[in-house]
Structure formats: structure tokens, C-alpha cells
Amino acid sequence: MQRRSPQGRIDPCIRIASASDRTLRRGFSLLELLTVISVTIVLTSLMVPAIGKLKENANRIVCSSNQRQMGIAFAEYGHAHKDRLPESRFGQDEQYEMMASYRADGSRDSQWDGVGLLYAEGYCREPGCLYCPSHHGEHAYERYVDEYYRASGHRLYTNYQYTGHLEWPAEGEEGPPRIKSMNDPKLILLTDGLRTRRDFNHISGMNVLRADTSVFWWGDQYRELYNMLPLEVGEGSVPQYIGDGFEDIWDLIKSRPGGSQ
């Protein structure tokens, strides 16, 4: 709104604020601010689960890629070792833990073990392939990465359960099985960690590596396998050296090739 000058003319330089102008300048009311905050909270609560799911799906892909790399490393190792898989001391005498890549017991027997041999002999060039980005337990990659580059004398754990020579020795032979006797695509070499529930990386299932180097998803939608694992080492139905408890777990995995989707 413009004001008239004393002479009765309209002065274009003088302007009186209208009611609409005053409305524009008053800003947000408290009610409007609370409404905006409420809408933001609702939208955030809807987005967070979706973002978490996307992250987990990405982690599954990385985990699957890690296992695929190890499958190729197993094959290359076999070609250089008379078609045999890496041997693990933890696969002997029913000591089925088999998640350590380096065993250290204060004696001269401290050495690389199982999948650790794939790294030590250069078939897995980076130790990161032995670790899953979804791991939520005590054995994260960041904890051990420096140990791989120096002889620390500490036991090193990975995030995967090596099962390469628990059940399938070549007929009439002792020691690790030969690759040529393990060409069945249903034969499992490696799974997510089964040591405790905190070692079971993805909660709702796990990636599984077969002898033909393929990787598939084994679903555990109803947590049947998850609930068979101990909360901590030495607790629950599965002791530290798993023994018969591991056989029950393994029977479940073999009886359901795709798990419970």
C-alpha cells in the first residue's frame, strides 16, 4: 500500500505494509514447528530400516565375493599341493572350531592353519578376504589386520567356518582330501562362522562356499540354526571344540540345501 504526499500525490518511495506482508514476516508458529519436527521423525523412522537393509544386502554381496575369492584360492592351492586342500589342526581329534587362521599355543607348533595357509602362501593376497563386513562379534578385521603383517604369536580368528576336510577324505587315503575327489557341487567347503551366535555374521542366514567354487545363500529365516549356536564359547549345546554338537548343526545344513527362505 502506497502513501499520499501532503500535496495529495502518491509517493512511490513510501509504502505501508499490508496485512499480507505482516503475515509473511511473522515466521513459523510453535505448532507449525512441532508439525515439521513430527513429520521429519516419521520419515526418518521409515527410512532407517530401508537404509539398514540396503547396507546388509551390500555386505552380503561383499561376503559372497570374499568366499568366491577363497574358492579360487582353494583351487589354486590344490594345484600346487597335489590336489589337496589346506590342512587344519582344528579338524583333528574332533576339534571342529576351525575358525582360526593362525594357531599360537606358545610352542613351536604355532603356525598358519586352514584358510590362513591361503593367505600365508599368497593365494589370498589380502587378509581382508577372510573377514565379513557384517561381523558383529569380537573378531573384526580391524582387530587383527596388523597381526597378519608381523609374527605376533597370537591366535588369529577369521569370520568363516572352514569345513574342508571334516567328512570327505579320499577313500583309502589319510590326510586332507584331494580336490579331484571333491567335484560334487553340493560339497561344502566354507560357511559363515558357527563358533558362537556372535560369529554368525548375517543372523537371517549365511553364505556358503561349495567345492566347485560357487557360493549360495542358506536362509535361516526362523533362526533354527542360529539358536543351535552357543551364546559364548563353552556355553550352551555346543562346547568350544564342537564335537557332536557340530555334527547336529552340519546335518541341518546338509539336509536343507537352501535353508529356510
The per-residue pLDDT for range 227-260, each reduced to its tens digit, is 988 887 754 444 444 455 677 787 888 888 776 6
Mean pLDDT across 70-86: 90
Higher pLDDT among residues 94 and 231, named by residue: 231
- CA–CA distance, 173 with 175 (Å, rounded to integer): 7
pLDDT for residue 242: 47
Sheet of 111-112, strand order: 111-112, 100-103, 156-157
Percent over 90 (pLDDT), the chain: 33
pLDDT for residue 61: 95
Task: Retrieve residue 210's grid coordinates.
Answer: 561349495
End-to-end CA separation in angstroms for the chain: 70
Mean pLDDT across 87-103: 71
pLDDT for residue 239: 42
Q: How many CB atoms lie within 10 A of CB 240?
A: 14
Residue 42 has pLDDT above 50, yes or no: yes
Q: In this structure, which long-range contacts are made by residues 151-156, counting pairs with CB atoms below 8 Å and at least 24 apart in sequence?
A: 152/104, 153/104, 153/106, 153/110, 154/102, 154/104, 155/100, 155/102, 155/103, 155/104, 155/105, 156/100, 156/101, 156/102, 156/104, 156/116
Beta bridge partners of 216: 208
Confidence of residue 37 (pLDDT cuts 50, 70, 90): confident
pLDDT for residue 128: 95
Return the SS3 of 244: helix
Tell me which residue of 86, 154, 150, 98 sits closest to 124, measured CA to CA. Answer: 86
Confidence of residue 179 (pLDDT cuts 50, 70, 90): low
Mean pLDDT is lowest, of 33-42, 131-140, 203-212, for: 33-42
The secondary structure of residue 169, as a DSSP letter, is P
Q: Which amino acid is at 46?
A: L
Q: What would the DSSP string read from start to end of 37-95?
A: HHHHHHHHHHHHHHHHHHHHHHHHHHHHHHHHHHHHHHHHHHHHTTTBPPP-GGGSTT-
- CA–CA distance, 78 with 212 (Å, rounded to integer): 13
Higher pLDDT among residues 248 and 60, named by residue: 60
Highest-confidence segment of 52-61, 158-167, 200-209, 237-246: 200-209
Compute CA 253 distance to the chain's CA centroid, rounded to the nearest angstrom: 18
Q: Which amino acid is at 43?
A: L
- Structural domain spans, the chain: 29-260
Please state, in angstroms and as integers, the Cα–Cα distance from residue 76 to each residue in 108, 121, 123, 154, 198, following that order.
28, 11, 7, 27, 31
Confidence of residue 63 (pLDDT cuts 50, 70, 90): very high
Residue 208 has pLDDT above 90, yes or no: yes
Residue 223 has pLDDT above 70, yes or no: yes
Percent over 70 (pLDDT), the chain: 67
pLDDT for residue 60: 94
Tell me which residue of 260, 256, 125, 114 sits closest to 193, measured CA to CA. Answer: 114
pTM above 0.85, yes or no: no
- What is the average pLDDT value for the chain, to the nearest integer? 78
